[in-house]
Each structure stands twice: as C-alpha cells, then as structure tokens.
Amino acid sequence: MSCADRMLCACLGLRESEVRAAVRAQSLFELADLVAKTEAGAGCTCCHPDLKALLQDERERAGYLSEPICSAR
C-alpha cells in the first residue's frame, strides 16, 4: 500500500487500488455496475462522489464514450 492508495469506501474497507483493479478487470464504467459487482458504495453512499470521479477518470483512461458519436443532426 502506498500513501496514494487512499481508503475510498470505508464501509466496505476498499482502497482506491482495489476499486481501480476491479473497474479495469470487469470494465465497470457506471456507478450502478460498480456497486452491483464489487459492493463498493453499497453502504452509507458517502463515497459515491469519489467513486464517480474514479469512474470518470477510468472512462477517460479507457477512451470510453458514454454517448454515441453521431454527426447527423
């Protein structure tokens, strides 16, 4: 564990590195999927803003686009 490996979900005792590893291994890009698959954020929900920020970071890292690209308007 490094100093940067902060506790992300205190209720479940999950550190940032553990959540990131699960997100990457299971291609989890939405909070509902993350909660369902890992239980991170399934307690008091205080960590949801941090989990959403992590998911946004991982989406950007993976080049994931939540909205389809469409040039026709």
Gap between the Cα atoms of 47 and 73, Å rounded: 38
Residue 9 forms beta bridges with which residues? 14
E strand residue ranges, 17-73: none
By CB under 6 A, residue 53 contacts ligand FES: no
Shortest spacing between CB 56 and ligand FES, in angstroms: 17
46 versus 62: smaller Cβ distance to ligand FES? 46
- Segment contacting ligand FES (CB under 6 A): 9-17, 22-30, 55-63, 65-73? 9-17
Residue from 36, 44, 53, 65 touching ligand FES (CB under 6 A): that is 44
By CB under 6 A, residue 36 contacts ligand FES: no
30 versus 65: smaller Cβ distance to ligand FES? 30
Gap between the Cα atoms of 12 and 61, Å rounded: 25
Q: Which residues contact 18 (CB under 8 A, 6 or more apart)?
A: 8
The 8-class DSSP code of residue 66 comes to: S
